[in-house]
Chains A and B, each alone.
Chain A
Amino acid sequence: MMTTDRELMHRVARGDEPAFTELSNRYSARLLTMAWRLLGNRADAEDAVQRALLRLYTSAKSYRSEWAVSTWLYRITTNVCVDEMRRRRSRSVLQRAAQEDADGQGLLFPWGGGHGGGPAQNLDVQRALDRVPLEARILLALRYVDGLSYRELARVRGITVNTVKSQLARGKSILRTVLQEGGHRQRTAGALTRGAER
């Protein structure tokens, strides 16, 4: 019989490294995908997941078994990703200031911009998601990477179930609008190209 997540977690709290490896392997693909879709590239996503797992290991003693291990892991990982998003925003404020600065020297931008693709990535969907406010985008990622319930989503982000529902609805409505606009532009561009061929 497969060892449960909770049993593994209790073993991790006693410093059991194989249990930690087993638990990491169970969740790594889902955590990586969530971080990748939020942060836009694999390198930053891997770093975020590593930092989250490090935190899981070092704080395993404070894990309380009323939490599902998956919910606990998603809480820790989203916390790391969200702080990374905050850092990027303040960098982009700096970047704008540097552009306005006459010589533009003296600032560092060592981060990678843009989206690093990845298998099966739909760029239209990614661009549309970029337009969704961060809190709603996080909920969408958690909902679709692992099918978390409204209650689990509420627990991960420390919000009410009603807020989860309204944020998800708002996020999807924005997605639909942006994808519709994109689809409309594509159809128009297609018609123009066909017109020019004649």
Chain B
Amino acid sequence: MMTRAFPSGDQLENLLVVHFRPVAAGGDLARRVLDRLRDDWDPERFAARIQVEASERGIRTVRPGGRVLPPVSRAAKRMAERARAELHDYLGGRRAFFSVPIDFAGTRPFQRKVLELTHRIPFGETRTYSWIARRIGHPLAVRAVGTALGRNPVPILVPCHRVLRTDGGLGGYAFGLDLKTRLLGLERATPVLEGCATTGIVCRVGCPDAMRMRDDSRVVFASVEDARTVGYRPCRTCRPGAAAGA
């Protein structure tokens, strides 16, 4: 016996219309958004205060203010300027990765292992102290991991703010838990992959090529593969497909 295929075109249309029928939103939505705006933390002002020390090999320290030693060479000065520019873009929500190298020379072997692993935690993601302890082969050294991160000489660039407690607690942060929360919130609000509707190229947010993009050309993608399915190609400068984390 032949049965008619379910669903027919009209039935599918009806199912979709019903499924996507608008549901009422709370009346105070706009007020809640305006409340979020009252926050007086100014990331740009914070970025302007940040001090950076560098060698020719990379960044050695990042501090939220205070004085630092003058650069030892022109190359070190350029390195520090590059880090400041990247931090400025990051805090302004225009960068989802850092490309400036880190000079870990002044750190002890255990701390170095912890910092190098933390350095690979992808933007917008979090890990726990015990995850780090296990991954570096010292599963019982959870507290030592916390101490090593607490003395992180290059915060933000080595994202120790992405390391939390196993129970979901924030843990500690050398520059205060308030800043840790803000950085995690900032990373939640900054997309990672952006396509340019004019050129059809998809970039990592922060790519120098993408910086020139007009605001109304920016289209966010969930993966390079998704972008390809609708005709975009990955950028050859920032190579978004090759970016991998810890």
Contact = CB atoms under 8 A, between A and B. Distances in A.
A106 to B, nearest CB: 4
Interface string B22-35: 11111101111110
B33 A105 contact: no
Contact of A135 (B27, B33, B226): B226
A108 B164 contact: yes
Contacts of B7: 176, 179-180, 183
Chain A contact residues, majority secondary structure: helix
B139 to A, nearest CB: 9
B195 A107 contact: no
Contacts of B124: 87
Q: Which of the listed residues A17, A91, A167 has the most CB atoms from chain B within 10 Å of its own CB?
A: A17
A25 B27 contact: yes
A79 interface: yes
Chain B contact residues, majority secondary structure: mixed
Contact of A75 (B12, B37, B127, B219): B219
B195 A106 contact: no
B24 A29 contact: yes
Contacts of B20: 33-34, 37, 140-141, 144-145
Given A29-B24, A33-B22, A64-B216, A163 B33 contact: no
B218 A79 contact: yes
Interface of A: 17, 20-21, 24-25, 28-34, 36-37, 46, 49-51, 53-54, 57-59, 62, 64, 67, 72, 75, 78-80, 82-83, 85-87, 89-91, 94, 101, 105-108, 110, 118-122, 125-126, 129, 133-135, 140-141, 144-145, 157-160, 163, 167, 172, 175-176, 179-180, 183
A79 B230 contact: no
Contact of A17 (B26, B34, B166, B223): B34
Contact of B229 (A17, A28, A125, A133): A133
Contact of A108 (B30, B33, B133, B168): B168
A88 to B, nearest CB: 9
13 contacts: A21-B34, A29-B22, A32-B29, A36-B23, A50-B36, A53-B30, A57-B33, A87-B188, A108-B166, A108-B168, A134-B222, A135-B230, A157-B230
A139 to B, nearest CB: 9
A159 B127 contact: no
